[in-house]
């Protein structure tokens, strides 16, 4: 079976199972999405969604957030982990948005990547889920599943992103990103499926009988 054939199987199963792909992080605009995605680093979406209502009650735009001290932000977001770094980043990026972008989140991935605490993956999520532009954010979970399904041999998320963009149509990227995440959480978890039990693993590698060990980024 070729990589393209496996990709077709993946799209078919995911499309049938997840026809709708709601953004899992609660937000009302691109600023609150940006902050929520930043907070989700090494933290579950569920925990972020418990924290952000109080944070956005305090400040839900760049202007108001820039007026808050990092310590005040930290007191709210500390359950998300990496609190000191994240609170400082949220405060600093809010200042930059006010001073350089008129208080708005820039609709440009390179500009987003210049903001404190915003890497390529976070910027890609905002560009795709916030602005609706084609992007394929790859985290460690998508990296794991892409390897299990034989869609990449990439040793890191950068190479995996390039490989996925080559084999999937651009118009499907934004939806697939979420569909793969949903499938990984529900059926192909890191310590459960091991590349041999879920429907997609079985369909893409029907003869695989031993656990698959993916290359960690």
Does residue 111 contact residue 101 with C-beta atoms inside 8 Å? Answer: yes
**Which whole-number Å values give the CA distances from 78 to 29, 39, 172, in the listed order?**
23, 10, 35
CA of residue 164 relative to chain centroid, distance: 15
Instruction: Say how far apart CA 102 and CA 110 lie, in whole Å.
Output: 17
Report the catalytic residues.
121, 139
Give burial (CB, 10 Å; 0-12/13-18/19+) of 47. Answer: middle
**Sign of torsion, CA 118 148 154 170?**
negative
Phi, psi of 82 (to 5 degrees): 55, 35
CA of residue 170 relative to chain centroid, distance: 17
């Amino acid at each position: 079976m070729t990589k393209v054939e496996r990709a077709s199987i993946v799209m078919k199963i995911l499309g049938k199972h997840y026809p709708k792909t709601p953004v899992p992080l609660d937000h009302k605009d691109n600023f609150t999405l940006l902050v929520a995605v930043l907070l989700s680093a090494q933290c579950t979406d569920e925990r972020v969604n418990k924290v952000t209502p109080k944070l956005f009650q305090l400040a839900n735009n760049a202007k108001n957030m820039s007026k808050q001290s990092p310590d005040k932000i930290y007191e709210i977001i500390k359950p998300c982990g990496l609190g000191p770094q994240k609170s400082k980043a949220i405060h600093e990026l809010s200042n930059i948005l006010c001073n350089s972008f008129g208080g708005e989140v820039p609709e440009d991935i390179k500009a987003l990547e210049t903001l404190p605490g915003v890497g390529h993956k976070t910027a890609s999520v905002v560009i795709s889920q916030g602005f609706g532009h084609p992007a394929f954010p790859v985290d460690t979970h998508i990296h794991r599943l892409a390897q299990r399904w034989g869609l990449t041999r990439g040793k890191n998320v950068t190479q995996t992103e390039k490989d996925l963009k080559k084999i999937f149509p651009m118009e499907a990227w934004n939806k697939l990103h979420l569909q793969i995440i949903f499938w990984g959480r529900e059926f192909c978890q890191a310590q459960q499926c091991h590349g041999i039990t879920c429907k997609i693993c079985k369909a893409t590698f029907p003869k695989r009988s031993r656990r698959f060990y993916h290359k960690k980024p």
